[in-house]
């Protein structure tokens, strides 16, 4: 895993010293994403920067990497991620006459574009199975391609300029260039206050994401976007037993592919169905004993209080799975003081780059990866199984399913709005923003075909599945990427394999709930691998600290903020509303959001343009 950045300017020679310094500044922002090596490549209007985390072909995989024609670079590539089928592609390309100088997947991507993508780049990208984001410069065409994987596992941002574009794995890389302005308008604040993925809105004005499954083409004539993949109706005709067998086959193949690494590897184990099944399969196919890690909190298991979405603590199940599978397991136990450490909170925000927060769940994940990096460079995660197989309550609670909005969204949770100036709240019109985003997403949903098309519930569940995979999952993948890469840990997500996603998405909802509960297909496909207690365990969300000390520390910091008239967030706040939020009983999420927004505005010196 790595970090990439670059600059295209058709009216400027980027080999000049001042331009080289700009590129160096951009590249330096991502040193933690790629602690092993730094590289750059500049040719006239194109400048590419790279920070490398060496995972495969440690000696030969240096970047930027070029492909030569008649002794001169024809293609130049900076690449993030992994192409899991690179060995198969390498064999096919070699049979077509392509010659390789390294054992890296990066070189395979270069040759794939030369062989299959010279007329249409989508033909090359569709051959890749993996998680990736990359920039490819064609020296003859004077054309840049920005490419992102199908599910959006790896981030990639771009910022159009007068004569070209800036791009980077993270916004901070783009903002290191003097052409980019760290500004936020009302549209950006809407995004900051909502939990809906919107590639057209990155919080920073004029900055965009490359959409999952898309290519952005940059030429002298402008910037165009094209899709190479999207979720479709597959006309699923398999019965339930066949579907269960196929899910198992795909999982086995996916995890075997994702175990390939030339560095230490581990799994993230929560004791739930998703991570336990993944860990068991990894242990079965690994040549070495698998390491596993779990996050816990001081006194959490002993003092656990069940709550919505968290009926049981993880600890006992984690211990049982680790013994059953035989992993070399480590619990990372955290305290409230660690989570509220100002340095940890500042570093977590800097890693995320955006004022989006899950509070102590972000800080705990950050600290978990800090601990993991002492032992492993690659980690397998069970992320996306709930979104794919239907693990959340919004798939099963009739009231949530039938909401005329995103089913996981509950306006009563927007407690941060209580502290904002009433005039600003009216201007933001968050209900209108949600409605617009919701209906845009609905317009993309592929229709159900076959016998299931006559069932209104099947049609609605197709919509819910699509909404969760395209508007919720990307926010979680982005969070996992940022907080892991803050320590140079590459997280792989087997449940995001596009073949598995395509197959399960196309299956009828009746198949996905055939045993009358959540994640029926995954449970049936992996029940033989894990303890029965885990097979029967009800879904329990990622843990959060229950120590009341944490809430007290949050409120104290919020009080200090309210007493500072020079705080960056002060112009947005209502004094009465903020004190009402402080005194409310359901206030922690709202307080977290305002504190995060304050830190974001300060850290990035963001100018407000509304």
* Long-range contact set of residues 574-581: C-beta below 8 Å, sequence gap at least 24: 574/419, 574/420, 574/421, 574/422, 577/418, 577/419, 577/420, 577/421, 577/422, 578/418, 578/419, 580/418, 580/419, 581/415, 581/416, 581/418, 581/419
Buried b (16+ CB within 10 A) or exposed e, 357-386: bbbbbbbbbbbbbbbbbeebbbbbbbbbbb
- Provide the greatest CA pair distance for the chain: 72
**Which pair of structure tokens corresponds to residue 30?**
């991502």
Closest Cα to residue 333, out of 543, 484, 537? Answer: 543
Spatial distance between the Cα atoms of 116 and 127, rounded to a whole number of angstroms:
9
**Phi, psi torsion values for 375, nearest 5 degrees:** -125, -35
Closest Cα to residue 85, out of 106, 110, 56, 105? Answer: 105
Decide if 463 contacts 220 (C-beta within 8 A). no
Q: Number of helices and strands (H, E) in the chain?
A: 25, 19
Spatial distance between the Cα atoms of 341 and 344, rounded to a whole number of angstroms:
5
Cβ burial of 130 (10 Å; 0-12, 13-18, 19+) is buried
Spatial distance between the Cα atoms of 413 and 106, rounded to a whole number of angstroms:
44
* Angle (CA) 504 197 214, round 5°: 70
- Answer yes or no: 2 catalytic: yes
Catalytic option among 2, 194, 266, 394: 2
**Alpha helices (H) in 473-547, listed in sequence order:** 473-485, 498-506, 509-512, 520-526, 532-535
Count of beta carbons in the 10 Å neighbourhood of residue 168: 30
Task: Please report how the helices 548-562 and 588-603 are oriented relative to each other, as an axis angle in degrees rounded to 10.
Answer: 50
Count of beta carbons in the 10 Å neighbourhood of residue 100: 14
User: Which H or E element spans position 492?
Assistant: strand 490-492
- 3-state DSSP assignment of residue 3: strand
Decide if 550 contacts 339 (C-beta within 8 A). yes
Spatial distance between the Cα atoms of 173 and 350, rounded to a whole number of angstroms:
12
CA 450 to chain centre: 33
Count of beta carbons in the 10 Å neighbourhood of residue 18: 9
Active site residues: 2
């Amino acid at each position: 895993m790595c970090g990439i950045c670059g600059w295209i300017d058709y009216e400027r020679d980027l080999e000049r010293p001042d331009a080289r310094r700009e590129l160096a500044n951009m590249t330096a922002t991502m040193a933690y994403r790629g602690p092993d090596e730094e590289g750059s490549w500049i040719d006239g209007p194109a400048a590419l920067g790279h920070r490398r985390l060496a995972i495969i072909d440690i000696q030969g995989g240096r970047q930027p990497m070029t492909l030569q024609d008649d002794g001169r670079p024809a293609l130049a590539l900076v690449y993030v991620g992994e192409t899991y089928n690179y060995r198969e592609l390498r064999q096919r390309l070699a049979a077509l006459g392509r010659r390789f100088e390294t054992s890296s997947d990066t070189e395979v991507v270069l040759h794939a574009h030369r062989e299959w993508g010279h007329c249409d780049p989508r033909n090359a990208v569709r051959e890749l199975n993996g998680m990736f984001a990359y920039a490819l410069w064609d020296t003859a065409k004077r054309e840049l391609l920005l490419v992102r994987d199908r599910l959006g596992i790896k981030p990639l941002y771009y910022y159009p300029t007068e004569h070209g574009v800036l791009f980077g794995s993270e916004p901070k890389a783009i903002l290191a260039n003097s052409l980019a302005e760290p500004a936020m308008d009302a549209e950006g604040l809407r995004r900051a206050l909502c939990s809906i993925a919107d590639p057209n809105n990155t919080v920073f004005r004029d900055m965009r994401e490359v959409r999952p499954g898309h290519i952005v083409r940059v030429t002298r004539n402008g910037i165009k976007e094209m899709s190479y993949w999207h979720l479709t109706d597959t006309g699923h005709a398999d019965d339930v037993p066949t579907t269960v067998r196929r899910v198992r086959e795909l999982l086995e193949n996916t995890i075997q592919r994702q175990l390939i690494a030339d560095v230490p590897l581990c799994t993230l184990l929560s004791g739930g169905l998703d991570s336990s099944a993944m860990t068991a399969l990894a242990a079965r196919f690994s040549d070495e004993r698998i390491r596993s890690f779990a996050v816990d909190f001081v006194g959490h298991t002993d003092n656990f209080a069940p709550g919505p979405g968290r009926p049981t603590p993880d600890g006992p199940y984690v211990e049982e799975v680790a013994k059953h599978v035989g992993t070399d397991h480590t619990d990372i136990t955290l305290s409230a003081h660690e989570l509220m450490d100002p340095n940890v909170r500042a570093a977590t925000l800097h890693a995320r780059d955006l004022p989006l927060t899950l509070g102590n769940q972000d800080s705990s994940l950050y600290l978990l990866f800090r601990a993991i990096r002492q032992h492993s460079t690659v980690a397998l995660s069970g992320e996306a199984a709930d979104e794919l197989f239907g693990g959340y309550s919004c798939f099963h609670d009739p009231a949530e399913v039938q909401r005329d909005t995103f089913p996981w969204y509950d306006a009563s949770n927007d407690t941060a709005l209580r502290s904002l100036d009433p005039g600003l709240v009216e201007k933001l019109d968050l209900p209108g923003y949600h409605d617009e985003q919701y209906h845009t997403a609905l317009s993309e949903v592929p229709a159900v075909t076959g016998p299931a098309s006559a069932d209104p519930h099947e049609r609605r569940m197709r919509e819910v599945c699509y909404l969760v995979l395209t508007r919720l999952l990307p926010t979680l993948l982005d969070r996992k990427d940022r907080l892991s890469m803050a320590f140079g840990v590459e997280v792989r997500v087997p449940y995001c394999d596009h073949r598995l996603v395509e197959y399960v998405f196309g299956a009828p909802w009746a198949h996905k709930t055939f045993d009358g509960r959540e994640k029926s297909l995954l449970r049936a496909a992996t029940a033989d691998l894990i303890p029965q207690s885990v097979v029967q365990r009800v879904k329990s969300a990622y843990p959060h600290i229950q120590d009341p000390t944490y809430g007290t520390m949050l409120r104290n910091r919020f009080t200090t903020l309210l007493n500072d008239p020079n705080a960056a967030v002060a112009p947005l706040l209502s004094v009465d509303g903020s004190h009402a939020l402080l005194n409310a009983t359901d206030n922690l999420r709202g307080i977290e959001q305002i504190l995060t927004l304050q830190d974001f505005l300060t850290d990035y010196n963001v100018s407000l343009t509304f």
